[in-house]
Structure 1
Amino acid sequence: MPVAPPRVRKDAAAHLDGPLALDRLAARAGLSGRTLLLCQRLDSARVLLERTGLPGEAVATRRR
């Protein structure tokens, strides 16, 4: 699974509270919009699993 470059992840994370120009972010990462979104979701899940006591099922069904 490709991983978005740190600058793209940082840019996306900084703007999660508003509309994101997914196509622009994906182009900066050299990925499709769908792949970039999947990378972000997987990265967020990884952080939750590593830093919280939440079981995998809770992380998988969690809504932001």
Structure 2
Amino acid sequence: MASSVKKNKQATPQYTRAELMNHAEALFAVKAEVLYGALYEAAQETFSIEEAKERINQFMKAKVKG
């Protein structure tokens, strides 16, 4: 009998905002304040390293409203 067990992809680790902010300079080479701004409007509570990097890049490229 053939088994229909599906292999799950290895999930990327998720970290809380606080964990990421505590290590912002080591992980992303930005101050915690920059990471706070990048994650400010996000509805989710946990992020992967790649998700946080992408949000930081978008935040840094955003135009300042005057």
Answer 1 or 2: higher relative contact order, Cα 8 Å, separation at least 6: 2
The structure having more radius of gyration, on CA atoms, is 2
TM-score interval (norm. to shorter): 0.3 to 0.5
If the length of structure 1 is used for normalisation, what is the TM-score? 0.33
Choose between structure 1 and 2: higher strand proportion.
2
If the length of structure 2 is used for normalisation, what is the TM-score? 0.32
